[in-house]
Amino acid sequence: MEITAQQLSQYNGTDPSKPIYVAVKGRVFDVTTGKSFYGPGGAYAMFAGKDASRALAKMSKNEQDITSSLDGLTEKEIGVLNDWETKFVAKYPVVGTIVS
């Protein structure tokens, strides 16, 4: 499934009838089984319905870092992001990719 960033935002956990999606490096993961983390009130709820690549790379929960942009990341941050991506792949199903 191809999904735009705008469509992705509808899967942010606020509608209990919809799954919760988080994108990492353009791949969209269904993180609904991690609702306690990504659902409303969860520690990572700010990532739900968004591409959290930059924030994961920087280990940040700042709103300005919750973006797909990898511009200016250090080699170490890219490594951290790759580790997160590996964890997501192991734990959550990939349901699509983000398109512009």
- pLDDT for the residue numbered 100: 84
> Could you report the per-residue pLDDT of 39-55, keeping only the tens digit for each?
999 999 999 999 999 99
- CA pair distance 31, 19, nearest whole angstrom: 8
Report whether pLDDT(88) > 90: yes
Q: Could you tell me which residues come within 8 angstroms of residue 46 by beta carbon, excluding any fewer than 6 positions away?
A: 55, 61, 63, 66
What is the pTM for the complete model shown? 0.95
- Kindly state the average pLDDT of the residues 75-96: 98
Q: How does DSSP assign 61-98, residue by residue?
A: --GGG-SS--TT--HHHHHHHHHHHHHHHHHS-EEEEE
Q: Does 3.20.20.120 match the CATH number of domain 2-98?
A: no
| Residue 86: how many other CB atoms lie within 10 Å | 11
Q: Which two tokens stand for residue 49?
A: 């319905």
